[in-house]
Amino acid sequence: MSSLDGLPTFRTVRQDYQHLEQSGTIVGDTAQLAVVDALDRLIEEIASKRLASKSSALGWLFAKRKPTHEPVKGLYVHGGVGRGKTMLMDMFFERVTVKRKRRAHFNDFMADVHDRIQKHREMLKRGETKETDPIPPVARALAQEAWVLCFDEFTVTDIADAMVLSRLFSSLFSEGVVLVATSNVAPRDLYRDGLNRALFEPFIGILERHTRVMALDGPTDYRRRNLDRMQVYISPLGEDADALMDEAWEAATAGHVTRQERLAVKGREVVVPRANGTAARFTFADLCEKPLGARDYLAIAAHFDTLFIDRIPVMGQERRNEAKRFILLVDTLYDQKMRLVASAEASPERLYAGTSGTEAFEFARTASRLTEMQSREWLDAAATRAGAD
């Protein structure tokens, strides 16, 4: 362990994990420790590969033939929601000592891939390339940008993704890319019951050959356990409410790295100010004072299972547009059975002060749903939904 600006830094994932355990931030878990040790071994293998690559780059000075090296086998960790997968990925990504590394949600990565494929086809039409197959050049470009790829929430639901995965990852792995991924499901359960799944199945074998598959199983949903102790609807607003929201956020994210994310929605981007795995945090202004609609809220619900909303105000006639968006937002969260943690100026039934227009009538439903989403029954159903994803 060393220190940077007075904050402890750790050389290994295990050191970081043990520090969190000793400080009481987390409870030690044998299944997590097995993944911790696997991540540390992978970091060592990647470091050795880097040194070997540097040596072989000068191999022509000393031998006619470059030495060959076995490719580094990545890691695929699957387990239920709240098992600490994102926390462990945070630790790994921070400590893997390569410059060319990339971390992304799998769906965002595949959107980028499809954009690149389309651009290559346009170049082919213009006569700017002679490669008729876009997959190899796209894979080469991706490998040049990052040879360690880290995916949060690896899942396959889109047939367009399913159709290109085998060839894309065959090319990526042949370029030496190392994959580290977390998922709620084992490789064999990816794209289960998907359209034309037989065409997708070769990818499963490719994935299993190039990664070590580990199950992070266990009965404890740590995020759920931590949130169960917290108030999920906090009112009125003020410093105390802000502090309680921060405390709940730290409980839900285990105090680990949060970052801004961007979700692609029909050629636009929805900015997620703070995200950690499947938890996201917005202010009311982020979600309801900007021109967002149903597609945007559905995209958020597709990426996350726990949503924090800070500082929901009382809305009157002058805020009818914001009220309309808030009604739509709550309907979406309710339909998708998401966990909601919110701070608000007033209790749910007092959040809309207008007396005319459809908003006054519709907000009665919104208030009822906000109240229901605080109940133990709702949180149990939300946990079941998250674990099934």
Number of H helices, E strands in the chain: 14, 13
Residues β-bridged to residue 268: 265
Could you give the CA distance from residue 145 to residue 116 in angstroms, rounded to a whole number? 13
Q: How is residue 300 written in tokens?
A: 């958020």
Are 294 and 335 in contact by the 8 Å Cβ rule? The answer is no
* Cα 21 to chain centroid, rounded: 24
Are 76 and 183 in contact by the 8 Å Cβ rule? The answer is yes
Task: Encode pLDDT of 49-74 as tens digits.
Answer: 876 665 555 454 444 444 445 789 99
**What pLDDT, on the 0 to 100 scale, is given for residue 61?**
46
Helix (H, G, I), strand (E, B) or coil at 305: coil
Residue 334 has pLDDT above 70, yes or no: yes
Read off the pLDDT of each residue in 26-32 and give the average, rounded to a whole number.
83
Phi, psi of 129 (to 5 degrees): -150, 155
CATH code at 2-215: 3.40.50.300
Residue 125 CA: distances (Å) to CA of 121, 129, 137, 168: 6, 8, 16, 22
| Whole-model pTM over 0.85 | no
Domains of the chain, by residue range, sit at: 2-215, 222-388
Q: Where does residue 124 rank: exposed (0-12), middle (13-18), buried (19+ CB within 10 A)?
A: middle
The amino acid occupying position 213 is: V
**What pLDDT, on the 0 to 100 scale, is given for residue 63?**
46
Residue recorded with tokens 């990526």: 172
Residue recorded with tokens 């290559």: 120
Are 180 and 210 in contact by the 8 Å Cβ rule? The answer is no
Q: Residue 219's pLDDT band (boundaries 50, 70, 90)?
A: low
Task: Encode pLDDT of 71-119 as tens digits.
Answer: 899 999 998 766 788 889 989 999 998 899 999 888 788 889 999 999 9
Task: Encode pLDDT of 137-180 as tens digits.
Answer: 999 999 999 999 999 878 887 888 888 999 999 999 999 999 99
Q: Residue 20's pLDDT band (boundaries 50, 70, 90)?
A: confident
